[in-house]
Structure 1
Amino acid sequence: MSLTRRAVVTAAAAALLLAGCGTGTEEAPPAAGGGQAAQEKVVIDWWHIQNIEPMLPVWDAMAKEYMAAHPNVTININPLENEAFKAKMTTVAQSGEGPDIYQTWGGGVLQQQADGGIAKDITADIADWSGTFNPAALAAYQLGGKTYGVPYDIGMVGFWYNKDLFKKAGIEQPPATWTEFLDAVNKLKAANITPIALAGKAKWPGHYYWTYLAMRIAGLPALQEAATAKSFENPDFIAAGQKLKELADLKPFQNGFLGAPYDTPDGQAAAMGSGKAAMELMGQWAPTVQKDTAGDLGEALGFFPFPAVEGGKGAATEALGGGGGFAVGVDAPKEAVDFLKYILSAENARREIATGSLLPVVKGTEDAVTDPRGKMVVDVLAKATGFQLYLDQAYPPAVGAQVNDSVAELIAGTKSPEEVVKAITETAQSE
């Protein structure tokens, strides 16, 4: 994920180009006339994935504001597309270096970066303002009693759907159970409407289905226990795969979905935004990406949580999700944390929320959500009784990647439900 995930976007558009990895400070040359040296110069390299409107210009403006108030600080911004960021971050992490501030989703990936000496323990650095964050939003970045990042967004994955297409197919209300969901898929197909848009090439969007089914059938504790025991060969997880196979066998996805990316004009989001598909299972960023790649469905776009599975141990009020955050490089100057305090102040958080692309993580800013689609997610999250971070972030990177790969193969019909859990288990045990 995700993910956008968690805030996933299209072509990279740089505002200020990256000057280079690794950063720090350098002393300015002596002042003219042999006077005292000028204030120490500081360079901050900032990598983020908000590389399109509306957030790209907002953060660009905030960086310029900070530099104007701190003339000795230069902030080099590198806005990257989601997958490009992950690939670039993997490369620099292997070298033992990294940017001063960078995108993170927390969980197992951040833990690996901390263990590898890439991410800094900022517990003490943010002690005076960590209490301003929603505890649930901050939790993903707190590992082993230490804090390695701060959130800028939180949300959940659910079904975004086209109300007009549902009405055309005779579906009166969003499905609340898995049986009702499959019935809705069949009704859409009967009306010659593509039920679901899916980015098979990207893989991570498919893992949402298996994860949610595992949550609904086995319950949240089972996923946590599996990670600890490094064994996913649980009958309930196999049942989750069987339910997903049941859906895939209905052929509910758009033509060519196996080769479809997520955030391009020929991808999943565009199929939704153009009205060519009735549903997509995606995070809170979905409306923004739909609009950017194809079009805005306006009031025709609705949202509903993943359905309950009859007889399952998990509750329909348990949510899968996460949000974007920022980690700080281990060698970053102190100004990096100060800059984060600036862009995540209550005042600036409100500016970010006002774009409609981010949801509140700073206490007291909830009323800044005016976008109807954002309110849909906030309302569902407010009723959540449990929360699971995306598995490809919650688990170590290799395990998360195996979840994505194996589930993609299950959806494609090349791997069985039993083979999925076996492959994930083998990868977990090899870590």
Structure 2
Amino acid sequence: MDSTTIRTRRLLALATAAVMAFGVGACSSDKNDSAEGSGQNGPVNMEFWGWAGYEKMVDQWNASHPDTKVTFKKIPSGAKGGYTQISNAITAGKGPCLAQIEYQTIPSMLVKNMVMDITQYASDDMDKYVPSAVSASSVGDKIYGIPVDVGPMVLFYRKDLFAKYGITKPPATWAEYKADAEKVAAADPSVKFGDAPGDGNGMAAFSLQTGQSWYSTKGDSWTVSIDNPGTRKVAEFWQDLKDEGLVTKGGNAWDPQFNKASESGKVLTFVNAAWAAGGLKSDLKGLAGKWRVAPMPTWEAGDGKSASSGGSATSVMTGCKTPREAVQFADFLSSDPQAVKTGIETGLYPASKAGQDDPSLTGGDPYFGGQKVGDVYKASAAQVPSTWTNGPTFQQVESDFTGAIGQGTLPDAVTKVQASTVAAIKKLGLSVTNG
């Protein structure tokens, strides 16, 4: 075991003990399980809470596992109240056995003593999943969730507009991205090449590509390094493009303004996760055949680094009396071929390596002109750095970034969120230093 792992385990042990001392420890829930302990004889009943379209996948499990019934409860997404519901239920002794937890939220749930260490049940199966998802589902050498989906980042671009403005190929580097943006602006200043990150999730994804993390541990303390050279490079790059009028000034690719601009040929690209293809297909049906997918541009030519945005794991929650069966269900949800296929149909891009070779992902996609976009997604998923560490206050980081970006420049936002994150971790009663 390396020194980083030892420090991480030590830190989280202290953090969890501190939180429990304040009375946030959870009680067991009798309704979750009708079989005491794990692996006991008799029927098992477990609740699973989440917001993705898991209903059919749960039905598939129940049909093939009559002695282990899972009941799915749909809740709001985590950031919109789902995590609060989960935490309140667990604290009251009425929580679910399993829950959908976004990767970046796992550490904060751990600090609150809401998720269980499932290493003994899950460790032999984690090689089924892409390394970055395994890393994101773990803290130190302990596993706190089974990866379900990932959000490999790619460049979505308009092939027809590229041809119109004389761009012969998608930009392979961020320098080429800027050069192409300048070329388009010279031809028509009203046309924007893409959209800049407008919130913490966007900044996190672009920073992840640089290989530099926002959190780490040092001794018994969290170290916050949001204001690191990689993130500052990202912030300065996009602020420069915003100042020159080459990209939109921070919104996102899903608001009506973006859709209107796309339909009128006023935007050429956006960088987002594979799951964003679903938004294009549903919101911009009339542009079928005009969009294409390319690898995310890199900072250095050929450096082979991509990024991921979004994705979640299935975690076993504190109070679950049958963690072995819970992990068996979670593994089924993430790696059973039929369950994975169903997940793909609902918009989940699988963390499972085998799942990424599902025929529904490897064929030509009519919306993208018959392009085999799954090949681009798969290559991106394999190139996501595993150097990122999620911290205990990501919801605060996301909220603070969104607010700061709305009030000033991206570099200023980085400075502000560095300070506010240190303060937020101190407020939790944890030791923290500036990175």
- 107, 110, 114: which one aligns with 1:111: 107
Shift of 1:239: 4.4
User: Which amino acid is 2:378 matched to?
Assistant: V
Distance 1:425 1:180, change over 3 A: same
Is the alpha carbon distance of 1:370 and 1:233 closer, same or farther for their aligned partners in structure 2, counting shifts above 3 Å?
A: closer
State the distance in 2 between where 1:240 and 1:342 align: 38
Native 8 Å contact 1:160 1:302 kept in 2? yes
2-side partners of 1:74 and 1:194: how far apart?
48
What CA distance in whole angstroms lies between the structure 2 residues aligned with 1:316 and 1:343? 34
Indicate whether 1:370 and 2:362 are aligned: yes
Q: Please say if residues 191 and 266 of structure 2, whose CA atoms lie closer than 8 Å, have aligned partners that are also in contact.
A: yes
Aligned residue number for residue 144 of structure 2: 148
Asked whether the 8 Å contact 2:33–2:320 carries over to 1, the reply is no
Aligned residue number for residue 72 of structure 2: 76
| Selected match of 1:250 from 244, 249, 257 | 244
Contact persistence 2:159–2:290 (CA under 8 A): yes
SS at match of 1:174: coil
Any idea what SS the aligned residue of 2:87 has? helix
Counterpart amino acid of residue 301 in structure 1: W
Q: Which runs of 5+ in 1 are unaligned?
A: 1-20, 29-38, 51-55
Which AA in structure 2 matches 1:242?
Answer: E
Q: Secondary structure at the match of 1:285?
A: helix
Match in the other structure for 2:397: 402
Q: Helix, strand or coil: the match of 2:122?
A: coil
- Which string of whole-angstrom CA distances, capped at 9 and with x for unpartnered residues, describes residues 13-71 of structure 1? xxxxxxxx96734769xxxxxxxxxx6572413213x3xxxxx3xx3223223334427
Partner deviation per Cα, 1:73-117 (whole Å, 9 max, x = no partner): 351330645643xx321354266544332222324x212212212
Relative distance call for 1:103 and 1:230 in structure 2 (3 A) is: same
1:24 corresponds in structure 2 to: 31
Matched to 1:241, the amino acid is: A
Cα gap change, 1:408 to 1:145, in 2 (>3 Å): same
Read off the aligned partner of 1:139 and give its amino acid letter. Answer: S
| Structure 2 partner of 1:99 | 96
Output the aligned Cα RMSD.
3.9
Q: Distance in 2 between matches of 1:253 and 1:413?
A: 18
Cα distance, 1:325 vs. partner? Answer: 1.8
Alignment of 1:424 onto 2:418:
yes
Distance 2:173 2:33 in 1: 60
Name the counterpart of 2:270.
280
* 1:47 paired residue among 42, 45, 50: 50
Q: Which residue number in structure 2 is paired with residue 3 of structure 1?
A: none
Identity, in percent, stands at 21
For residue 121 of structure 2, what is the amino acid of its counterpart? D
SS in 1 for 2:245: coil
Q: Report if aligned partners of 2:123, 2:143 keep a CA contact under 8 Å in 1.
A: no
Give 3-state SS (helix, strand or coil) of 2:168's partner: coil
Q: Report if aligned partners of 2:155, 2:272 keep a CA contact under 8 Å in 1.
A: yes
Selected match of 1:159 from 155, 172, 192? 155
1:16 equivalent in structure 2: none
Equivalent AA in structure 2 for residue 370 of structure 1:
T
Q: Give 3-state SS (helix, strand or coil) of 1:158's partner.
A: strand
Q: Name the CA distance, whole Å, in 2 between partners of 1:196 and 1:417.
A: 19
For 2:167 and 2:347, how far apart are their aligned partners in 1?
29
Asked if the contact 1:24–1:331 (Cα under 8 Å) also holds between the matched residues in 2, the reply is: no
3-state secondary structure, aligned to 2:341:
helix
Secondary structure, counterpart of 1:161 in structure 2: strand
The Cα of 1:385 is off from its aligned counterpart by 7.4
Kindly indicate whether residue 138 of structure 2 is the aligned counterpart of residue 138 of structure 1. no
Structure 2 residue 165 is the aligned partner of structure 1 residue 169: yes
Asked if the contact 2:33/2:44 (under 8 Å) is kept, the reply is yes
Q: 1:152 touches 1:361 (CA, 8 Å); kept in 2? A: yes
- 1:160–1:281: 8 Å Cα contact kept in structure 2? yes
User: 2:193–2:267: 8 Å Cα contact kept in structure 1?
Assistant: yes
Distance of 2:356 and 2:396 partners within structure 1: 34
Partner residue in 1 for 2:38? none
Q: Which amino acid aligns with 2:183?
A: K
CA contact (8 A) 2:217 2:223 kept: yes
**Maintained 8 Å contact 2:34/2:43:** yes
Kindly state the Cα deviation for residue 149 of structure 1 after the two structures are TM-superposed: 0.2
Q: Which residue of 2 aligns with 1:15?
A: none
What is the alpha-carbon distance in structure 1 between the residues aligned to residue 346 and residue 114 of structure 2?
32
SS in 1 for 2:244: coil
Taking structure 2 as the reference length, what is the TM-score of the superposition?
A: 0.70
In structure 1, distance between residues paired with 2:135 and 2:170: 31
CA contact (8 A) 1:321 1:387 kept: no
1:358 Cα deviation from its structure 2 partner: 3.7
> Which residue identity is paired with 2:270?
E
Relative to 1, partners in 2 of residues 1:281 and 1:83: Cα closer, same or farther, differing over 3 Å?
A: farther
Aligned length: 371
- Per-residue CA deviations over 1:301-322 (Å, capped at 9, x if unaligned) read 2233443447xxx974222215
Displacement of 1:140: 1.2
CA distance in 2, matches of 1:388, 1:297: 37
Moved more, 242-251 or 63-72: 63-72
Matching residue of 1:379: 379
Unaligned runs of 5+ in 2: 1-27, 36-41, 364-371, 426-435
Q: Distance in 1 between matches of 2:149 and 2:345?
A: 12
Q: C-alpha deviations, 1:334-381, integer Å up to 9, x for none?
A: 243332233234422552475384444334444323242222121344
Q: Find the aligned partners of 1:316 and 1:270 in 2 and give their Cα distance.
A: 35
8 A contact 1:132–1:362 mirrored in 2? yes
Letter of the structure 1 residue corresponding to residue 101 of structure 2: T
Q: Is 1:326 aligned to residue 314 of structure 2?
A: yes
The answer for the alignment partner of 2:337 in structure 1 is: 347
Q: 1:194 aligns with which of 192, 202, 207?
A: 192
